[in-house]
Amino acid sequence: MDTLEAIRKRRSVRSFKPDPIPEEDLRKILEAASWAPSAGNCQPLELVVVKDPGVKEEVMEAAFGQSFVGEAPVVVVVCAEVERTTRRYGRRGELFYVQDTAAATQNLLLAATALGYGTCWVGAFSEEEVAKALRLPRGVRPLAIVPIGKSAESPEAPPRLPLREIVHRDRY
């Protein structure tokens, strides 16, 4: 699948089959995340791969009970080790590590799509509870939860604003 096709085919999937993900595919997905750009190449990215049903359940509860999180065979929690970026860029670094991990998350979603898996970017969760469930050290912030698995649904694409409403030529 080429890049543009993966971009168009990716959907937020909220129902998963229990089939496990082969390690080789998982590795490709995680590697795609690691190849995202980061400000100054500081690479604040840290990835927690959750397969244990008990830990998954805790993460699902921390995501306000979004049950599909617990259904997926693998849940990746995308985190940032904040200081890797802020010690170099100060306050601007607070923005950069969020952008860096967002880029990594999108790479992860697109790689999973290209390999035939469904994903959903989950941002509604208690940071404190996720950090507790995963035993994250101080200074490591969870920024996205991504359940990954074979899709058990084929959602319609939600509409997008037309380009004529969001693209500005030369000046806003």
Ligand X SMILES: Cc1cc2nc3c(=O)[nH]c(=O)nc-3n(C[C@H](O)[C@H](O)[C@H](O)COP(=O)(O)O)c2cc1C
Contact letters for ligand X, residues 133-162 (x by CB under 6 A): -------------------------x----
Rounded Cα distance, 160 and 23, in Å: 34
Alpha-carbon Rg for the chain, nearest whole angstrom, is: 17
Residues 140/131, Cβ–Cβ less than 8 Å = yes
Cα torsion 102, 61, 141, 20 to 10°: value is -60
Residues 63-82 that bind ligand X (CB under 6 A): 66
Tokens representing 46 are 């840290």
Using rule CB under 6 A, residue 84 touches ligand X: no
* Least CB distance to ligand X at residue 38 (A): 18
Q: Which stretch binds ligand X (CB under 6 A): 1-9, 73-81, 115-123, 132-140?
A: 115-123
Contact with ligand X (CB under 6 A) among 15, 121, 126, 129: 121
Nearer to ligand X, 66 or 85 (CB): 66
Tokens representing 164 are 């004529």
* Least CB distance to ligand X at residue 73 (A): 18
Contact with ligand X (CB under 6 A) among 33, 39, 78, 120: 120
Residues 49/74, Cβ–Cβ less than 8 Å = yes
